[in-house]
Amino acid sequence: MIGGMSLELTFLGTGTSAGIPMIGCDCPICTSADPRDRRDRSSVVVTYPRSQPPTCDAMPDRYTVLVDASPDIRVQAIRHDLKWLDALVLTHAHADHVMGIDDLRRFNAVMDRPLDLYAEPSVIRSLEQMFAYIFQPHRNVNQSFIAQLLPMPIEPGKPIELGGATWLPIRLMHGRLPIVGFRVDWAGRSLAYCTDCSSIPPQTLAQLEGLDVLVLDGLRERHHPTHMTLDRACAFAEQIAAAQTYLTHFAHDHSHAELEQRLPDGVAPSYDGLVVSLSHNACRG
Ligand SMILES: [Zn+2]
Ligand SMILES: [Zn+2]
Ligand SMILES: [Zn+2]
C-alpha cells in the first residue's frame, strides 16, 4: 500500500473464474513468462485514511474494504500483507467471488472481532446455503474455527458510509442476473468497480458521472453471454468518460502486452498487484 492522504485501489486478482494459468491449459497465455499474464480470481481492496483514530494497536491507520472474497484470498492477503479488514462488500455470490469466505476467519482471529459483510439480501441468502456451517454454527457437530461475519443488507442506489467514504451500490446486469458494482467517493475523488457485467442500465450510467477511475469487466474479444467483450467495454468506457478506465476479469485469450497495445487511450488492462492511487483533491498541485 502506498498510503498517505489518498484513496487507493489495489487489484488483488484480475482473472476470470478459472484464473490464469488455467488448470491443464498450455496455451501461450497460460504459459507466458510475463508475470502480468498470471491472474488470480478477481477482487480488489480499497483503502483511505480513517475518519476516526484507530481504537486498538492492531488497527491500521487506513480504513480497508475488501471487495469480493475470491478463492485466492489467502495468497492475495499474504502477498499484500493484508492483516485487517474493516468491511467486506460483495458484488454477487458466484463462486469466484465468494469462495474465499472460509479464509476470512484468520482476519477475525487477528482482529479479535467479527467482520461486517455488506451484500444484497439475495446474495446473503445464497451465502447462508453455501456456507451453512458459518451462518448456522449451532448445527455443527463440533465447535470449530469458522469465520464470524455480520451480514448487512445493501440496496442499489442507497449509499452507505464506510469509515468516512461513501459507497454507492449500483445495479449492473451480469447476463440476466442483477448484481451490484460500487461507486466510492472520498475527499473529492471517486472510483467505481464494475466487475462481472454484460450491460450497464441507463439509471446506473447516470450514477457513474465525473469519475476519476472506472474499473470495468473486459473478459475477451469473443462474445460471452454474461461478460463484456473488449469492444463493448471500450464503448461503455467512452460513454462514461472516467479520467482513466481499467479493464479486469480477463480470460486467457489475450496477453497483457497485446491488451496494452490494442486498448484505446484512457483504457488500460489491469494486472494483479496494480495499485491505483488518487490523492486528496485539496492536495492536488
Ligand atoms: Zn467472476
Ligand atoms: Zn490457456
Ligand atoms: Zn460472476
**In the predicted structure, residue 283 carries a pLDDT above the cut 60:** no
Distance 133 CA to ligand 2 centre (A): 35
Q: Are 211 and 183 in contact (CB under 8 A)?
A: yes
Domains in the chain and their CATH numbers? 6-277 (3.60.15.10)
Please choose, from the candidates 73, 130, 81, 63, the residue with its C-alpha nearest in 3D space to the C-alpha of residue 100: 73
Check residue 191 and give left, alpha or beta (phi > 0: left; psi -120 to 50: alpha).
Answer: beta
Instruction: Note the ligand closest to the C-alpha atom of 28.
Output: 2
**Whether the predicted model's global pTM rises above the 0.85 cut:** yes
pLDDT at res. 160: 98
* Ligand that lies nearest to the alpha carbon of residue 250, given by its number in the listed order: 1
Q: How far is the CA of 151 from the centre of ligand 2 (A)?
A: 37
284 pLDDT above the threshold of 90: no
Average pLDDT estimate for 43-54: 95
pLDDT of residue 4: 82
Mean pLDDT computed over 7-16? 98
Residue 27 confidence (pLDDT): 98
Please state the rounded mean pLDDT for residues 160-165: 97
Kindly identify the ligand whose nearest atom is closest to the C-alpha of 226: 3
Whether pLDDT at 6 is above 80: yes
Q: What's the CA angle centered on 90, arms 132 and 269, to 5 degrees?
A: 135
Q: List, for residues 199-247, the tens digit of each pLDDT value.
A: 999 999 999 999 999 999 999 999 999 999 999 999 999 999 999 999 9
Looking at all shown ligands, the one closest to residue 174's CA atom is: 3
Q: Distance, CA 35 to ligand 3 centroid (Å)?
A: 24
Here the cell at position 69 is: 472474497
Amino acid at 77: A
pLDDT at 282 over 80: no
Q: What is the per-residue pLDDT for 104?
A: 98
User: What average pLDDT is seen over the chain?
Assistant: 96
In this predicted structure, the answer to whether residue 2 has a pLDDT above a threshold of 70 is no
Reported as a single tens digit per residue, the pLDDT across 106-146 is 999 999 999 999 999 999 999 999 999 999 999 999 988 99
pLDDT of residue 111: 97
At residue 167, does pLDDT exceed 90?
Answer: yes
pLDDT tens, residue by residue, 24-43: 999 999 999 999 999 999 99
d(CA 26, CA 187): 46
C-beta separation of 85 from 107 below 8 A: yes
